[in-house]
A and B are shown apart, each in its own frame.
Chain A
Amino acid sequence: MKIVVAIKQTPDSAAKVVADGGQVAWGDAPLEMNPWDEFAVEAALLQADAQEAEVTAISVGGESAKEALKTALAMGAQQAILISDPALANADSQAIAKVLAAAIRKIGEVDLAFFGRQAIDGDMGVTGAMTARVLGWPMLGLVAAVQALSTDSIRVECSFEEGRQVVDCKLPAVVSVSKDISEPRYPSFMGIRKASRAVIPTWSLGDLGLAAPASVVVWPQVANPPARQVTTEMVSGGTAKEIAENLVDKILAEKVL
């Protein structure tokens, strides 16, 4: 069995991100694997452990994205491939989905492709489902648990607003995972050593036999959200009861209830 996990490199979740001169900037905050994707890597590794499958991590990005791929290798992925091409600068979700689908086809005989819920930069949360559609594979969204996996089918719990659906699905399939799947493992010492020595191949669009997919979504303007105009009023009182009553008066005066 062959498993692919698609990851993205994003600024650290603690980064102070601002719009600066029409560009998004995050100062010297480090770039890391998108936190949602750590769960996807964990899900892929869990299934691989159970099935003796091979996990290949793939990412579309610049040279620096190799660092995120090395994190996946350190966690236990067997292989990593960077897909990088100057023509993909400013690519939108559907263009990235077409590139990822082409990479998954090139890897060949892939049974499962794992994705995180969304990336914490663009926050679109559509790339997994788009890739599934480009491949013509079924989409299993926000999977909270994999109940069973065989060579030709998978049983998962998909999360929705109202609860969870248990779904049986034929393979191959695309799976996006929720945080419920399992806590991501830390890279092992051996894993880190292996990853640091790994040579990660880079595929261009030419290697994928793909012309640059046209992007249709543009971001003509980025701005900082309006500053939160708030004057903090500290509420006090002699007793908890008095504090609570003062606070309730003030909240009710805001007329939000």
Chain B
Amino acid sequence: MSAKILVFIDQFKGAALPAAWEALGAGQMLAGLLGGGEVAALVIGTGAQAVASQAFGYGVESVYYSEDPSLADYRPEPYGALLVKLARELAPQVLLLPTSVRGRELAAQAAIDLETGVLADVTELAVENGKLVATRPVYSGKVLAKTICQATPQVITTRGRAFARPAFDSSRSGAPVSLAAVLEEGQIAARVVGYTQSEGGVSLADAAVIVSGGRGLANNPAAAPGGLDEKQAEIWRAQQGFTLLGELAGVLGGAVGASRAAVDAGYISYDHQVGQTGKLVSPDLYIACGISGAIQHQAGMRSSKVIVAINKDGEAPIFKLARFGVVGDVYAILPALIEAFKQRLGKA
């Protein structure tokens, strides 16, 4: 048993993360650049078998999976132990994972066990002079570093939306290999006792369209209901704006983002924060509403393909990044924009 590339397909209850298939695409591309060789995939947890079967459709040659009861919920110890065992058996040159919470944790653990290093959140992969060179945004994307891992396997996590998902062909199929768990329950210190689902919707990391709001959303001409203190009234006004952003995101099939200022002011939860201490995103379309564009925010969204800025302050730095700018009141523009998109996209 051997493989040139091993890809961890991160999944939750039978649905692979989009970034996991993209990591697989990166793996197939790399196998080509490295002169060919087998690409294998590993899927773990509840629903793993379904995802494993899907992996054949994406062109994987060998797929391994485990639905052992001890692996039903994600826990770094038993997941890491299985990943490391398979990596030792297959002795791949490269171990690829998506840059997800689980992907990053498992990459870190596997690197220690396999006596190698990690190149995390990679956006480009190339082979230069026979060496695998990974480009990583560092300093929140203010600088790009070409990095090399000199030990084997080279453990790499790939950033979402940086690599193309492979073509799916339902005529390709195969039988995934079921693996037993490596650790027994008594050897695992952690136990999952509960779960809360987040509000759902499109995740920022995977979103092709992001509609984002900032501090400017508090400039809402609507009167807040009585009985609120000044701060509560400000939050109420801004939240009306985020509701509009949510509506626009819904029309465009996108996600709602926010600046740090908006999160810190309590307008919206931290899950939505885009920027240096939030999420780093690169959607095809980023619509910034009432966001002035602090350098920390720019670091999180500057690689978006098309940026649109709506702000009442024509001097706001965000306009320097924007392909299209509107100087105006977001509360006047947004409802009209939602209506216009609905009309043009046939969703009226």
- A: residues with CB less than 8 A from B are 11, 13-14, 16-19, 24, 35-36, 92-94, 97, 120-130, 132-134, 137-142, 155, 157, 159-170, 173, 178-180, 215-225, 228, 230-236, 239-241, 243-245, 247-252, 254, 256-257
Within the assembled complex, what's the spacing in Å between the Cα atoms of A159 and B271? 10
- The answer to whether A121 and B138 have CB atoms under 8 Å apart is yes
- The answer to whether B116 and A14 have CB atoms under 8 Å apart is no
B143 close to chain A: CB less than 8 A: yes
Within the assembled complex, what's the spacing in Å between the Cα atoms of A250 and B340? 12
- The answer to whether B101 and A93 have CB atoms under 8 Å apart is no
Binds A, one of B62-70, B196-204, B232-240: B196-204
Complex interface: chain B residues within 8 A of A155 (CB) = 193
Complex interface: chain B residues within 8 A of A11 (CB) = 139
- The answer to whether A241 and B12 have CB atoms under 8 Å apart is no
| Contact residues, B102-155 vs A (CB, 8 A) | 102, 104-105, 107-109, 111-113, 116-121, 133, 136-151
Within the assembled complex, what's the spacing in Å between the Cα atoms of A248 and B209? 14
- The answer to whether B144 and A252 have CB atoms under 8 Å apart is no
- The answer to whether B101 and A18 have CB atoms under 8 Å apart is no
Q: Given A94-B117, A240-B333, A251-B308, are A219 and B195 neighbors across the interface (CB < 8 Å)?
A: no
- Give the shortest distance, in Å, between B328 (CB) and chain A (any CB): 7
- Give the shortest distance, in Å, between A33 (CB) and chain B (any CB): 12
- The answer to whether B198 and A251 have CB atoms under 8 Å apart is no
- The answer to whether A14 and B139 have CB atoms under 8 Å apart is no
Q: A94-B117, A139-B76, A161-B17 are in contact. List 19 more A-B contacts (CB 8 A).
A: A93-B117, A120-B276, A125-B121, A129-B104, A133-B113, A141-B76, A141-B105, A157-B196, A166-B193, A216-B149, A217-B118, A217-B150, A221-B146, A223-B144, A241-B336, A251-B285, A251-B306, A256-B208, A256-B306
- The answer to whether A240 and B112 have CB atoms under 8 Å apart is no
The 3 A-B residue pairs whose C-beta atoms are closest, nearest first, are A166-B194, A129-B108, A244-B336
Q: Given A120-B276, A161-B101, A222-B143, are A169 and B190 neighbors across the interface (CB < 8 Å)?
A: yes
**Which among B101, B203, B307 has the highest number of chain A CB atoms within 10 Å?**
B101
- The answer to whether A134 and B112 have CB atoms under 8 Å apart is yes
Binds A, one of B1-9, B86-94, B218-226, B316-324: B316-324
Within the assembled complex, what's the spacing in Å between the Cα atoms of A46 and B340? 50
- The answer to whether B322 and A167 have CB atoms under 8 Å apart is no
Binds A, one of B28-36, B173-181, B294-302: B294-302
B277 close to chain A: CB less than 8 A: yes
- The answer to whether A163 and B197 have CB atoms under 8 Å apart is yes
Q: Given A123-B138, A161-B17, A248-B341, are A233 and B324 neighbors across the interface (CB < 8 Å)?
A: yes
- Give the shortest distance, in Å, between A154 (CB) and chain B (any CB): 10
B327 close to chain A: CB less than 8 A: yes
- The answer to whether A219 and B146 have CB atoms under 8 Å apart is yes
- Give the shortest distance, in Å, between B306 (CB) and chain A (any CB): 5
A-B contact pairs, 25 of them (CB 8 A): A11-B139, A14-B294, A93-B108, A120-B139, A121-B139, A126-B120, A132-B76, A161-B12, A167-B75, A170-B189, A170-B190, A179-B277, A220-B147, A220-B148, A222-B143, A224-B143, A230-B321, A232-B325, A233-B324, A240-B332, A240-B333, A244-B340, A252-B344, A256-B208, A256-B284
- The answer to whether A217 and B148 have CB atoms under 8 Å apart is yes
**Which among A125, A162, A215 has the highest number of chain B CB atoms within 10 Å?**
A162
Complex interface: chain B residues within 8 A of A124 (CB) = 118, 120-121
| Contact residues, B45-81 vs A (CB, 8 A) | 73-77, 80
Within the assembled complex, what's the spacing in Å between the Cα atoms of A138 and B188? 8
Q: Given A18-B143, A155-B193, are A235 and B326 neighbors across the interface (CB < 8 Å)?
A: yes
Complex interface: chain B residues within 8 A of A18 (CB) = 142-143
B228 close to chain A: CB less than 8 A: no
- The answer to whether B193 and A126 have CB atoms under 8 Å apart is no
Q: Given A130-B111, A217-B150, are A180 and B270 neighbors across the interface (CB < 8 Å)?
A: yes
Complex interface: chain A residues within 8 A of B107 (CB) = 126
- The answer to whether B12 and A162 have CB atoms under 8 Å apart is yes
Within the assembled complex, what's the spacing in Å between the Cα atoms of A157 and B120? 24
User: Out of B101, B147, B345, which one reaches A142, CB within 8 Å?
Assistant: B101
Complex interface: chain B residues within 8 A of A137 (CB) = 189
User: Out of B193, B277, B302, B344, which one reaches A228, CB within 8 Å?
Assistant: B302
- Give the shortest distance, in Å, between B317 (CB) and chain A (any CB): 11
- The answer to whether A169 and B191 have CB atoms under 8 Å apart is yes
Complex interface: chain A residues within 8 A of B147 (CB) = 217-220
Within the assembled complex, what's the spacing in Å between the Cα atoms of A39 and B340? 42
- The answer to whether A17 and B117 have CB atoms under 8 Å apart is no
Q: Given A18-B142, A155-B193, A235-B325, are A13 and B276 neighbors across the interface (CB < 8 Å)?
A: yes
B252 close to chain A: CB less than 8 A: yes
- Give the shortest distance, in Å, between A4 (CB) and chain B (any CB): 18
Complex interface: chain A residues within 8 A of B195 (CB) = 163-166
Q: Given A160-B74, A220-B146, A240-B332, are A120 and B277 neighbors across the interface (CB < 8 Å)?
A: yes
* CB-CB nearest in chain B for A172: B189
Complex interface: chain B residues within 8 A of A223 (CB) = 143-146
Complex interface: chain A residues within 8 A of B100 (CB) = 160-161
Complex interface: chain A residues within 8 A of B335 (CB) = 240
Q: Given A13-B276, A123-B140, A129-B76, are A160 and B102 neighbors across the interface (CB < 8 Å)?
A: yes
User: Out of A24, A138, A179, A256, which one reaches B305, CB within 8 Å?
Assistant: A256
Within the assembled complex, what's the spacing in Å between the Cα atoms of A167 and B274? 27
Complex interface: chain B residues within 8 A of A235 (CB) = 324-326
